[in-house]
Amino acid sequence: MSSPQSSNPGSGTFYGILLGFAAFAFFSFSDTSVKLIRDGLPPYESAFIGAVFGLLVFPFLLAPGDRLSDVWRTSDRRLWLVRFVSYPAGVIGSVTAFSHLPMAEAFTLIFLQPSFVTLLSIAFLKERIGLPRSFAIVLGFVGVLIVLRPGMRPLSIGHLGALVAGLGGALSVVTFRAAGPNEKRISLFGAGILGGIVIGGLASLPTLVLPTLHQALLLASYGLLAALANILLMHAAFAASAAAIAPTQYSQMIWAVVIGYVVFGDKVDTPTVIGMVLIVGSGLITLVRERTIGGMEPPPIAVSRGHAASVLVAEDADNARP
């Protein structure tokens, strides 16, 4: 599962970084599509449609000799099932967040994911963390408290959805790490997509709402743009290291502010900006620290559908092998 090496590593890295920026731009446009639906459809129905479009990515995950049926193969069925559940939970949470919160606020809370990854890695992978990563966790949660301001303004289901999205993404990342380098990419990615189809589909059946033509077009945009973003992120991983690509994820914050203002008329207040800076700083501290100690870096947060990160996790695992 190693990436092909460019004859000019510098140009390959630059190309990979450009693809990373493009991927996260398309993820942001995809999230804009689902936000435009607002409360018109249940979030689990949107998650189901998004997962169906996620099937388009499957052929790009196949390594030489792999088959589509390998999506069911795994070295640890329990971890496979965790991915099966955590992915749709994260997507449903993110759709709920975007439906009820300004884009910048939703992104800010979801970007707590690296702190969740660290905490889950301590609990389940028995990782030890030093002072810098401990500080990053505290910094991230302080940022969340500043954004939420509990007791000073009403909280909504959108805030809960954003935190569930971050936690769901973190669970997926931790299972990627725990699975090790021998797990096939199609299995890493496919478990969550199948979970989105099954869980989102079953949840939609009792109260199925047929989308209007306008909603159907937005859903198609949501799914297709996400699939394109996943493909771009995978090609970025083939051209450059995860360390080079990971910082491009924070461009989503810029897109959130710009799209929120231009499309939805959202204005970002000072406390939200402060919280945003603290949470992004927390993620960057974690990223730099992992790079310094030579650990497996947290993959980019592709906010609503972060399983393209499975390629980056697999790439880091390949590079970590002796």
Q: How far apart are CA 315 and CA 9, in angstroms?
A: 16
∠ CA 175-181-183 to the nearest 5 degrees?
65
Burial of 162 (C-beta count, 10 Å sphere; 0-12/13-18/19+): buried
Provide the mean pLDDT of the chain. Answer: 82
Q: How far apart are CA 67 and CA 29, in angstroms?
A: 31
Number of alpha carbons in the 13 Å side-chain half-sphere of residue 57: 37
Single-letter code of the amino acid located at 64: P
195 near 83, Cβ under 8 Å? yes
Residue 290 lies in a domain: yes
pLDDT band with cut points at 50, 70 and 90 for residue 2? very low
What does the pLDDT look like over 82-103, one tens digit per residue? Answer: 989 998 999 999 999 999 999 9
Residue 52 lies in a domain: yes
- Rg over alpha carbons for the chain, rounded to the nearest Å, is 18
Residue 280 lies in a domain: yes
CA-based diameter of the chain, in Å? 57
pTM for the full predicted model? 0.83
Q: How far apart are CA 286 and CA 274, in angstroms?
A: 19
Q: How many CB atoms lie within 10 A of CB 284?
A: 15
Residue 131 lies in a domain: yes
Hey, is 265 helix, strand or coil? Answer: coil
Residue 218 lies in a domain: yes
Q: What are phi and psi of 150, to 5 degrees?
A: -60, 135
Residue 292 lies in a domain: yes
> What is the count of structural domains for the chain?
1
pLDDT band with cut points at 50, 70 and 90 for residue 248? confident
Residue 4 lies in a domain: no
What does the pLDDT look like over 164-191, one tens digit per residue? Answer: 998 988 888 788 778 877 788 888 888 9
Which of 299, 303, 297 shows the shortest CA–CA distance to 252? 303
Residue 133 lies in a domain: yes
What does the pLDDT look like over 110-153, one tens digit per residue? Answer: 888 878 888 888 888 888 878 888 898 899 889 888 988 877 78
Copy the structure tokens of residue 319. 């590079």
The boundaries of the domain holding residue 253 are 9-320
Q: How many CB atoms lie within 10 A of CB 210?
A: 8
Hey, is 68 helix, strand or coil? Answer: helix
Q: Report how far apart the first and last C-alpha atoms of the chain are (Å, whole number).
A: 15
What does the pLDDT look like over 270-314, one tens digit per residue? Answer: 988 999 899 888 888 877 766 665 554 444 444 445 444 444 544
